Amino acid sequence: MVVDLDGTLVRSDLLVQSAFAYLGDNPLRIISLLSAMRRGKAALKAEIASKTKIDASLLPYDENVVSLIRQRRAAGDRVYLASASNENYVQGVADHLGLFDGWFASNAGENLSAGSKARRLLETFGKGGFDYVGNSRADLAVWAIARRCIAVRVSPATRSKLIDLSPDAVVLEEKTMGQVGEWIRLRRLHQWSKNALVFVPLVTAHRFDLVALYEASAAFLVFSLVASAVYVLNDLVDLDADRKHSRKKRRPLAAGTVPIAGSIVLVPILLLAGFSGAWAIGPTLAAVLLAYLVLTTAYTFALKRKMLVDVLTLASLYTIRVIAGAAAISVPISEWLIGFSMFVFTALALIKRYVELAARIDDGMSDPANRNYLKSDLDIVATLAAAAGFNAVTVFALYISSDAVRPLYRHPQALWLICPVLMYWLGRALLMAHRRLMPDDPIVFALRDWNSYLALGLIGLILIGAR
């Protein structure tokens, strides 16, 4: 029996996965990638494989296919692995599973496409001399010369062609685009809550008319669509790292519950929808959204691997959301608001890093491979988070004492009451992180924490009273 790898034995595509990892390690490799592409697909795969490793133990294997392989081996059959992926990856999978008598793969001189694979298997086993397990339309060329055809996750159209070719073909599972819930998780709709920051300028500028509310709401939606596109792109780049993480390994792409090809198509669709909506609201908002996309893409491919640059970038991305809110409702952005935002979001980004490092220490894991931090940095990260957080309170206190506050509030002295609330919330966030009671995202934690809602409610009442 011969088994295909990508999409059959593994619920993933190793070429796509390794290509994103290749560029994620160094975006400038795009030059080498384009050069390799001109030499053919075999050279392209060899170039990527020479610079990128895939941990075969972490791949999302299809248990039905693995079970079938074990059954056939128990019955005394020989089993081979055949894939268009580069030989480095195929050998790694074969060695890890220890279930194959041999394997066929692409190398620097040959791309084992469906036609090449069919010829190689025909030369080795003869027509009708093997059973074949595949998953796609491309496998029809191999199924045409196989003794028995076995399919997994084939589309209805491919299934129909397969049955016409071999009426006794076995279809273990038909292809789906993934469960609706998995697609929702892929877009991380729960993270859309962060985009509520676009409403902050509406509150600070006291613009509570319906037009401003509509514009801010529209800005929230377009920002969320673009953010989801970036989350998908980030998951594609971080596939191997996510599979090593105790929680992130359950993400749809890491777990193989959503097809990689479908997720790639989703990215431009979300971007087109987001930027079309932003342009309809106003060119300024579209420009701010473009700045967000450029910065967050740079973060995905490079900046998140730079110590402290990563947290400053995250803080900037949160602050850009605030700037977008001002652009949407056409009000000038306050320098005080930008300063406060940068400090408070830097604190939250550092808390996020603290939680990640603490989890690695507790789980006995090594230093993170895709972050330029050491587990021994834990204490200094906590110190920096506290310093940034309380600097945010200082900026807010200076704002209260400035001339900028008087035109907006009849009783600006009441705003001093907000300072202890902020100090309480930030201090409590640090303590909860230290006690390992916070997930790796402080914003998500705040959305599930009643004390955070209480603090927000008190701040709202104070703002109302100060007016």
Taking the C-alpha atoms of residue 129 and residue 165, their distance in angstroms, rounded to an integer, is: 17
Percentage of the chain beyond pLDDT 90 is 69
Quote the pLDDT of residue 249: 87
Q: Residue 189: what are its φ and ψ, rounded to 5°?
A: -60, -30
Quote the pLDDT of residue 170: 87
- The strand pair at 131-134 and 102-106 is best described as unpaired
Taking the C-alpha atoms of residue 422 and residue 419, their distance in angstroms, rounded to an integer, is: 5
Q: Which domains does the chain have, with CATH numbers?
A: 2-174 (3.40.50.1000), 180-466 (1.10.357.140)
Average pLDDT of 67-78? 95
Quote the pLDDT of residue 378: 94
Please work out, in degrees rounded to the nearest 5, the angle formed at the alpha carbon of residue 426 by the alpha carbons of 420 and 431: 120
Pick from 30-39, 94-103, 390-399: least confident: 30-39
Q: Residue 259: what are its φ and ψ, rounded to 5°?
A: -65, 140
331 close to 282: Cβ distance less than 8 angstroms: no
- The strand pair at 102-106 and 80-86 is best described as parallel
Checking if the pLDDT of 418 tops 90, the result is: yes
Quote the pLDDT of residue 174: 64
- The strand pair at 148-154 and 170-174 is best described as parallel
Quote the pLDDT of residue 175: 61
275 close to 226: Cβ distance less than 8 angstroms: yes
Token code pair at residue 313? 């970038």
Quote the pLDDT of residue 176: 61
- 6-54: pLDDT as tens digits: 999 999 999 999 999 999 888 889 999 899 899 999 999 999 999 998 9
Token code pair at residue 211? 């037009």
Taking the C-alpha atoms of residue 161 and residue 198, their distance in angstroms, rounded to an integer, is: 51
Taking the C-alpha atoms of residue 77 and residue 85, their distance in angstroms, rounded to an integer, is: 24
- 128-172: pLDDT as tens digits: 999 999 998 999 999 999 999 999 988 888 888 998 888 888 888
Q: Residue 59: what are its φ and ψ, rounded to 5°?
A: -70, 150
Q: What does the H/E/C string look like for the chain? A: CEEECECCCECCCHHHHHHHHHHHHCHHHHHHHHHHHHCCHHHHHHHHHHHCCCCHHHCCECHHHHHHHHHHHHCCCCCEEEEEEEHHHHHHHHHHHCCCCEEEEEECCECCCHHHHHHHHHHHHCCCCCEEEECCHHHHHHHCCCCEEEEEEECHHHHHHHHHHCCCCEEEEECCCCCHHHHHHHHCHHHHHHHHHHHHHHHHCCCCCHHHHHHHHHHHHHHHHHHHHHHHHHHHHCHHHHHCCCCHHHCHHHHCCCCHHHHHHHHHHHHHHHHHHHHHHCHHHHHHHHHHHHHHHHHHHCHHHCCCHHHHHHHHHHHHHHHHHHHHHCCCCCHHHHHHHHHHHHHHHHHHHHHHHHHHHHHCCCCCCCCCCCHHHHHHHHHHHHHHHHHHHHHHHHHHCCHHHCCCCCCHHHHHHHHHHHHHHHHHHHHHHHCCCCCCCHHHHHHCCHHHHHHHHHHHHHHHHHC
Max CA distance (Å), the chain: 90
Amino acid at 328: A
Average pLDDT of 399-404? 89
* Between 388 and 401, residue with greater pLDDT: 388
Checking if the pLDDT of 177 tops 60, the result is: no
Checking if the pLDDT of 64 tops 80, the result is: yes
Mean pLDDT of the chain: 91
**Predicted confidence band of residue 301 (pLDDT cuts 50, 70, 90):** confident
- 309-363: pLDDT as tens digits: 999 999 999 999 999 999 999 999 889 999 999 999 999 999 999 999 998 898 8
252 close to 182: Cβ distance less than 8 angstroms: yes
